[in-house]
Structure 1
């Protein structure tokens, strides 16, 4: 009987140990508005998730829901706050009422490429940064991975842009925020649309063109709908972050919090370096596919760049008047871009 009792105790202990190991595995739902084909997912979001699973030795598992399966891009914060998903892909330009200050990343002419913008965004949006204190923390989310895309260009479906006067009256898709001001500076009409709606609008003719990063043309299937590109004019940029709800974060043990933080930093670096090194290849691929590049005259580019300074000041002052630290965030972002990582 003693032997039987001992054996039973061992079996129970092993069972308890197995249950404890199972309990340590944490599944996190990720609500993503991007399609699987988009490089910000493959070179950023997926890198983040794979690295977190690796660093946690499988204790962290993800359920990824791409292409707005759990909700629209504009509803990302609500999905996190309600617990529908623990991690969400937030595009501040689609939720400007909650993240107006994050629009600093979209201002034209402050930086080229992705890494300078991504590192500056990460520094300001992560815990303790100016954007975190003003926007992310009050909305109950914590930024893990930050991605600023490369410079947006102007691409049109039918009308070539040979000079600044050709922008007049064009209906151009923007991501909202500061890009609205950039479109106004050019004399075009800004049409706000999320990425998934753009192709249909181009096909119907309700859009004449887009403000768009070149690397995102093929992932969104737009190469057949756009014919002309202005390669020597930056009209701003766009950013997105993968953020975890603060409620979900507080439930995690400290070691897994560190894992998610490290994985996010690695993904930020991997994503921006991919974007920066692929710019030239992307341009050549689009050209080979039939897209026509028409550079603006240097005088026009210089005139537009001079107008960007006013856009920066107007953007900051408008936020200051609303009681938000627009000037402070603009200066901090500029300084981070100048400093590099």
Structure 2
């Protein structure tokens, strides 16, 4: 059974995932006399910002680009497997473009987790576009991690401004976090929560509501834009404001083999569409952040305004957390410190470009 898709080349819904995997088992990008067909898969739902302001934008741009037309199908919601499965499917040629998640794939792309570190500019466009600078050919993360995997990063999405949301206890200092079990997004954020005194817990986002309700966890590190998605405003009483315990990024990447099979004009079409998508993605997240903050301001959640001294008690830990991350990678032969420095420089350059 073949999947169906909207004429806009946006989100594709599978009728049967198993049948689709079998259908994909042949080859990668399919080029016919009239057009090229790409297969895209991700773990995000069709309604997620990564799809609506990411993949949908990309496929629309491809459809309207120069050269031989490029058609695309998109399988969202992890219907074709986990993030690790999807990356593997690019190597077999079954998929052409997939979502890569550094927090969940630190075994193969640990350097890409640099943008998830706390202590950098929390603006989503600064975060995602600064990381993209290091993911282009010649960039340290591309050269060390993505090129060996046979992947070409296309665009980055970053949800920033992760704060601590708690069910019963107000957090005003790292000491308040001691002994508290805090749901973390994994990867770099686990280290951040631990460094600030909390105990990171791995729980799927969909289970956080019930875990808070049953008091099996004390709180969660979450961005404001995701609180309403899981109705967490109904089970939390307090939220920190301005601590910024990190970010969560994803990187949609294309098989280098599939890219190299395209005609030069089509390759330019891919690059141009990816650049526009990266900007559209972060602008969409910016809009989501503002809408969420407005909605939550009208909820019963109490946002904790910290004094300068209280803020410094958190922020003074950030450089140490960053360097510890870098040292850990240096110790296993990865260029952790070099990547940290390169990302810090990229953030400054992107801040200037954004006028911030």
* TM-score, length of structure 2 as denominator length: 0.83
Q: In the TM superposition, what whole-angstrom CA distance separates every residue of 1:322-341 from its partner, at most 9, and x where no partner exists? A: 11111111111100111114
Q: In the TM superposition, what whole-angstrom CA distance separates every residue of 1:25-73 from its partner, at most 9, and x where no partner exists? A: 2221211111122122211222112111221578212211111111113
| 1:93 corresponds to which of 96, 103, 125 | 103
Q: In the TM superposition, what whole-angstrom CA distance separates every residue of 1:263-288 from its partner, at most 9, and x where no partner exists? A: 11111111212323443332121222
| 1:111 corresponds to which of 106, 113, 121 | 121
Residue 260 of structure 1 is matched in structure 2 by 270
Residue 90 of structure 2 is matched in structure 1 by 80
User: What residue ranges of structure 1 are gaps of 5+ in the alignment?
Assistant: 1-20
CA-CA distance at 1:258 after TM superposition: 1.0
CA shift in 2, pair 1:198/1:37, >3 Å: farther
Equivalent pair of 2:44/2:77 in contact (CA under 8 Å): yes
Is 1:241 the counterpart of 2:251? The answer is: yes
Residue 342 of structure 2 is matched in structure 1 by 332
Distance in 2 (alpha carbons) for counterparts of 1:201 and 1:257? 46
CA shift in 2, pair 1:171/1:147, >3 Å: same
CA shift in 2, pair 1:196/1:83, >3 Å: farther
Distance in 2 (alpha carbons) for counterparts of 1:198 and 1:78? 29
Report which stretch shifted further, 314-323 or 55-64.
55-64
Residue 321 of structure 1 is matched in structure 2 by 331
* TM-score, length of structure 1 as denominator length: 0.87
Residue 170 of structure 1 is matched in structure 2 by 180
RMSD, matched Cα: 2.2
| 2:286 corresponds to which of 276, 281, 285 | 276
Report which stretch shifted further, 160-169 or 249-258.
160-169
Q: Which has the larger radius of gyration?
A: 1
Equivalent pair of 2:173/2:314 in contact (CA under 8 Å): no
Distance in 2 (alpha carbons) for counterparts of 1:200 and 1:72? 23
Residue 156 of structure 1 is matched in structure 2 by 166
Equivalent pair of 2:173/2:313 in contact (CA under 8 Å): no
Distance in 1 (alpha carbons) for counterparts of 2:63 and 2:229? 26
Distance in 1 (alpha carbons) for counterparts of 2:211 and 2:46? 22
Q: Count how many residue pairs are aligned between Structure 1 and Structure 2.
A: 321
Equivalent pair of 1:136/1:142 in contact (CA under 8 Å): yes
User: What residue ranges of structure 2 are gaps of 5+ in the alignment?
Assistant: 1-30
Equivalent pair of 1:38/1:220 in contact (CA under 8 Å): no
Residue 26 of structure 2 is matched in structure 1 by none
Distance in 2 (alpha carbons) for counterparts of 1:157 and 1:26? 51
Report which stretch shifted further, 240-249 or 50-59.
50-59
Report which stretch shifted further, 179-188 or 211-220.
211-220
